[in-house]
Amino acid sequence: NNNIVVAIDGPAGAGKSTVARAVAERIGLPYLDTGALYRAIAWKLDREGIAPEDGERISQALASFRLEFIPGGLMADGTDVTAAIRTPEIDRIVSAYAARPEVRGALIELQRAQAKNGLVADGRDMGTVVFPEAELKIFLTASAEERARRRYKERLDRGEAADYDEILKQVVERDNYDMTREIAPLRPAPGCIILDSSYMDAAQVTDAISSLASRFM
């Protein structure tokens, strides 16, 4: 049986997407970046001037909102938003939208539908809410300083300006928001393996998770 689900959760900048993508390729399963879905919704609602507090308008807007996967990216209502959802501005606003029940409800079935042939998925509630029956659940974390350092380096590598202290502050704020929200808060799922990657590189984390996953395949 190769149709296993590997659920990877953890705080911002722990390396989830890098590692999840590499694990998926290694073990031959599709990869789903659920943070991108929340980012695309935040992008859309913000552009339409809809505040995170406005549940009614959020529901209305989401009723006709179309998300489509394209190779290596995401389309929102026919616009390629792959790059637009990776800005510091979206980093800053995404969690307030992601805390809304209307937003989370709109994404549950879409996420589960991707798992028909097995899946490696990363996010905040993969193991706790979306895929509680996943064969393998990983909570991938690292110290806040190390996570901020990785984000900082990512930005510099992309040729963008970056301020380490500012990034650290934002990373800590976003994690607190995600961990203390009422619906689907970020926390280790029952039965998960907690992996601290503070002193591991992406290749080591990928090896560790792939070898755990292969036991179920």
x/- site string to ligand C5P, residues 45 to 64, per CB under 6 A?
--------------------
Q: Rule CB under 6 A: say whether 174 interacts with ligand C5P.
A: yes
Identity of the residue, 101 or 191, whose beta carbon is nearer to ligand C5P in the bound complex: 101
Is 18 marked within a binding site? yes
Min CB(214)–ligand C5P separation in Å: 24
Q: Rule CB under 6 A: say whether 150 interacts with ligand C5P.
A: no
Cβ partners under 8 Å of residue 215, min gap 6:
none
Is 13 marked within a binding site? yes
Identity of the residue, 57 or 181, whose beta carbon is nearer to ligand C5P in the bound complex: 181
Residues 122-141 within binding reach of ligand C5P (CB under 6 A): 123-125
Q: Rule CB under 6 A: say whether 19 interacts with ligand C5P.
A: no
Is 198 marked within a binding site? no
Three-state SS sequence of the chain: CCCCEEEEECCCCCCHHHHHHHHHHHHCCCEEEHHHHHHHHHHHHHHCCCCCCCHHHHHHHHHCCCEEEECCEEEECCEECCCHHHCHHHHHHHHHHHCCHHHHHHHHHHHHHCCCCCEEEEECCHHHHHCCCCCEEEEEECCHHHHHHHHHHHHHHCCCCCCHHHHHHHHHHHHHHHHHCCCCCCCCCCCCEEEECCCCCHHHHHHHHHHHHHCCC
Q: Rule CB under 6 A: say whether 189 interacts with ligand C5P.
A: no
Min CB(54)–ligand C5P separation in Å: 18
Min CB(16)–ligand C5P separation in Å: 6
CA 161 to chain centre: 23
Residues 69-128 within binding reach of ligand C5P (CB under 6 A): 94-95, 98, 123-125
Q: Which residues bind ligand C5P (CB under 6 A)?
A: 12, 34-35, 38-39, 94-95, 98, 123-125, 174, 178
Binding residues: 10-18
